[in-house]
Amino acid sequence: MNTRWKPSVTVAAIIEQGGRYLLVEEHTPEGLRLNNPAGHLDPGEGPAEACAREALEETTHTFTPEALVGVYLSRFQREATGEDITYLRFAFCGALGDVVPGRSLDNGIVRTLWMAPDEVRASAHRHRSPLVLRCMEDHLRGQRFAMDLIHTDASVLA
């Protein structure tokens, strides 16, 4: 029997203000880890919409994706369980909006924090994924792609 390989599609918000990046500290099976506001693409949404939703859920702030920073592929192997997952990540930068009154941080998110690039680099051993650092470095280099690079067909939204 052939089994089709299906990478897990994720989105991430690369949010910078005043030279600092917004990260979340979250519970994982490996302990507390740092990550970009990020999560999985859900049925019926495009990557930009998923990114805005995940940023809201994990930070309580609205977020408007304005550019694609990059598309990334990474593999994670969990030693304890043998779990082996490949992630396909769409990372967006954009405008951070206001806190939405009455919102609370998503389950598992301990707090949000603003970190300078050197602090993000120094904390790499606590990152949930090597893509946290890679996305920030690409953003710092000015890597940006137009939003219309990604097309979500109407059939997805139906």
Domain residue ranges of the chain, discontinuous segments joined by +: 8-41+48-147
Gap between the Cα atoms of 3 and 38, Å rounded: 28
Q: Which of 45, 10, 40 is nearest to 157 (CA)?
A: 45
**Distance, CA of 94 to chain centre:** 13
Burial class (CB in 10 A: 0-12, 13-18, 19+), 153: exposed
pLDDT tens figures, 2-54: 788 889 999 999 999 999 999 999 999 889 999 999 999 999 999 999 999 99
Which pLDDT does position 1 carry in this prediction? 60
Average pLDDT over residues 131-145: 98
Q: Which of 33, 34, 17, 14 is nearest to 116 (CA)?
A: 17
Average pLDDT over residues 130-139: 97
**Does the domain spanning 8-41+48-147 belong to CATH 2.60.40.1180?**
no
pLDDT tens figures, 49-103: 999 999 999 999 999 999 999 999 999 888 778 888 899 999 999 999 999 999 9
Which pLDDT does position 78 carry in this prediction? 82
The SS3 call for residue 136 is: helix
Which pLDDT does position 138 carry in this prediction? 98
